Amino acid sequence: MVIDWLGFGYAATIALGGYMGYKRKGSLVSLIAGLLFGSLSAYGAILTTNDPSDQNISFLASGTLAVVMGIRFKRSGKIMPAGIMAGLSLLRILQLFLFTL
């Protein structure tokens, strides 16, 4: 069994980003979204660790974040945090698509 370390790291990054948005800007929406999508991504990483072909939850979480944060990046033009999260989400999708753990 190969542990999906990239998936767990991605999930932790999302949760930490949500916390930082709350801490710096007081955004409760960032905190809730970060914890929700971080938990969803961690669950997806657990499923992928147990069965490398079970990637649906991981695709759902990273795909949703890629679209939402990509739209936010296009509207604001700010790399932090929308551009970075969109880029990380696209890299996660690419990793899931190209490499079956």
Q: Which pLDDT value is given to residue 100?
A: 63
Residues near 15 by Cβ (< 8 Å), separated by ≥ 6?
Answer: 34, 35, 38, 39, 42
pTM, full prediction: 0.91
Question: Residue 81: its pLDDT value, please?
Answer: 87
User: Which tokens is 48 given?
Assistant: 């992928």
**Residue 99 pLDDT:** 76
C-alpha span between 95 and 77 (Å, rounded): 25
CATH domain 5-98 topology = de novo design (two linked rop proteins) (1.20.1440)
Residue ranges for the chain with pLDDT beneath 50: 101
Q: Tokens for 12, please give them.
A: 């932790």
For residue 59, what pLDDT is reported? 95
Tokens standing for residue 82: 């929308």
User: In percent, how much of the chain has pLDDT > 70?
Assistant: 98
